[in-house]
Chains A and B, each alone.
Chain A
């Protein structure tokens, strides 16, 4: 009975590796009880970020790993969701209706935009898609920072969300931890992320997901069997964009702030790419592992780099190479190496291991 339920929830796609199962369970438990296991503002911040990025990366994996489409506009969709919530909360005032309207509007806008881009580029050549998304995403990022009357420009927007979701709302104590609105907010983020992740797992293991994989392997043959490749690719793009926008809305609800740097920058796009590749393309669980590892590394390794840079002071070039600002350099190197040597990522390795 329990096994059957588990199978249904995971859509029949089990981790298929003992180590992977243990790691995934550890992550799930860690995130589910984060406010009690790791008290403190910073660790809660990290945990929420991990939840949101798992959804974001998983939605990207639907494109990159399952459909074989490279998009550089995923942060744009993420940002659409975030700005949707921000704008709705600014103009409609504090309230759950604003959050809901913003979230839905953001997701709808993302899906429509993805449909338009998809129709323009996927119809001709899948490779156009990568270039066109890059161009459109950069135009949107510039537009957002220029239209400061609407979007707050480079400064971004601060807004208010319902009081029950803010630290000002106190509920009392549980296991020695003060339960505030922030923790309620965290659980909102956690459960929404879990739901979205399971939904994506359902999608990729449905007949629709199988067709996407068939197209990824050989689009010509898939077309010959009778599947309309353009339709499937476009639908996957829209779906992935909508989920990314939902993740963006969660991020906006969590942070109570949006700005171009936190939601739209090309660096976040690179982070997402890296998380997918390191975790393992074409395996939803790869998104979990990739996002968790990456966010942890981002939050804690950069300090280490700063220390190493300080310790090697006086040597030529090495301090500059180890400077925390050069974090991206090492990411880039890691990225190239993992595409070459671990194209299946951590999950692929673990699954082939036993």
Chain B
């Protein structure tokens, strides 16, 4: 009889290359910003582009976060997510138009109050809509990806068409509230106030979401559910309820993103959600399905790259996102920060 081979587990620090590999996704954003600076050359235009890229990225992240969590939690892929973006934008902008007295006044307090009211209205409506959508459209097709994709696409069409029935088929133009118009000049670069606000707001939302996910009990259950749903259910949590909550929250966030995007573009159309969905999907894919951090980094990358490329080579801007997605998938086929499923 021979002795068992020696087995002495060691704990050693990751080697330099390994730890860099792990941190790489986090480093991509600063790398892209530096690359942008080097290729653009002029500090002022670089600053303007960076801020608008970050603003765009934040808004895309807000729309994408719900989608990626919903997928991670229940393996549900919701192609109808874009409908919430459009509905949010229409409800929010209608609220803003109704509050013309507040938005037209040159008072910051009234302006912000009007925007907040619009955001709350949009989020309530899209949250409710998300709840209904989950019940009517998504629930009967749990576990069947093919049907999910088909049915949610159907839902997207129906909601977009209903928007056109209610608000009419033409796009709606709007102007931002008085105090959010114009730009501030910083280091020779003109930076639109609204973009700054969007960056600050998006960052705050990301931090808040991270806190909820990492520091609260419900966040713990959601994260555990993403990793191993069966185990969480075996421990006695009703994951279905958690899922509905996440779905509703994700829909409300999409609505919020819609309002912000509408204010950013100053025009809304029923098809805007569908257009945004394409960016949202790219972000979710390159981030890694189910990963909120990955979606955040992906959104910033998409926003920055699109703005830089549009400045350097306008014709290429259309395919820059596809190129980014291709490059990242070649590097990490599962996305930058794939969720490790314990199965």
Binding site for B on A (CB under 8 A): 64, 68, 70, 120-121, 123-128, 130-132, 134-136, 138-139, 142-143, 146-147, 266, 270, 273, 277, 317, 320-321, 325-326, 328-329, 331-333, 335-336, 339-340, 343
Contacts and interface: CB of A to CB of B under 8 A. Distances in A.
A142 B77 CA distance: 25
Interface in B121-168: 137, 140-141, 145-147, 149-151, 153-158, 161-162, 164-165
Q: Is the interface of B mostly helix, strand, loop or mixed?
A: helix
Nearest first, the 4 closest Cβ-Cβ pairs linking A and B are A329-B161, A332-B157, A336-B154, A332-B158
Interface stretch (B7-15, B216-224, B235-243, B319-327): B319-327
Interface stretch (B104-112, B202-210, B274-282): B274-282
A68 to B, nearest CB: 6
A326 B164 CA distance: 8
A329 B157 contact: yes
B169 to A, nearest CB: 6
A336 B155 contact: yes
B284 interface: yes
A335 B277 CA distance: 20
A328 B157 contact: yes
Given A139-B319, A332-B157, 11 more contacts: A70-B149, A120-B326, A131-B77, A135-B282, A136-B322, A333-B158, A335-B150, A336-B151, A336-B154, A339-B151, A343-B147
B329 interface: yes
Contacts of A146: 315, 318
Interface string B327-341: 001100110000000
A130 B78 CA distance: 11
Interface in B2-23: none
A326 B157 contact: no
A336 B278 contact: no
B52 to A, nearest CB: 20
B77 A331 contact: no
Of the listed residues B169, B278, B284, the one surrounded by the most CB atoms of chain A closer than 10 A to its CB is B278
B309 interface: no
Nearest to A136: B322
A336 B137 contact: yes
Interface of B: 77, 79, 137, 140-141, 145-147, 149-151, 153-158, 161-162, 164-165, 169, 274-275, 277-278, 281-282, 284-285, 289, 315, 318-319, 321-322, 325-326, 329-330, 333-334
A70 B146 contact: yes
A328 B140 CA distance: 23
B146 A143 contact: no
A120 B329 contact: yes
Contacts of A326: 161, 164-165
Of the listed residues A64, A317, A329, the one surrounded by the most CB atoms of chain B closer than 10 A to its CB is A329
Contacts of B277: 134
A142 B151 contact: no
Contacts of B150: 70, 273, 277, 335, 339
Contacts of B154: 332-333, 335-336, 339
Nearest to A130: B149
A132 B283 CA distance: 11
A335 B157 contact: yes
A329 B150 CA distance: 15
A297 to B, nearest CB: 16
B319 A143 contact: yes
B150 to A, nearest CB: 5
B157 A124 contact: no
Contacts of B325: 132, 135
B84 to A, nearest CB: 16
A135 B151 contact: no
A321 to B, nearest CB: 6
Contacts of B329: 120-121, 124
Contact of A328 (B141, B145, B147, B161): B161
B74 to A, nearest CB: 13
A341 to B, nearest CB: 10
A70 B285 CA distance: 16
Contacts of A266: 274
A71 to B, nearest CB: 10
A157 B286 CA distance: 36
B226 to A, nearest CB: 16
B147 A339 contact: yes
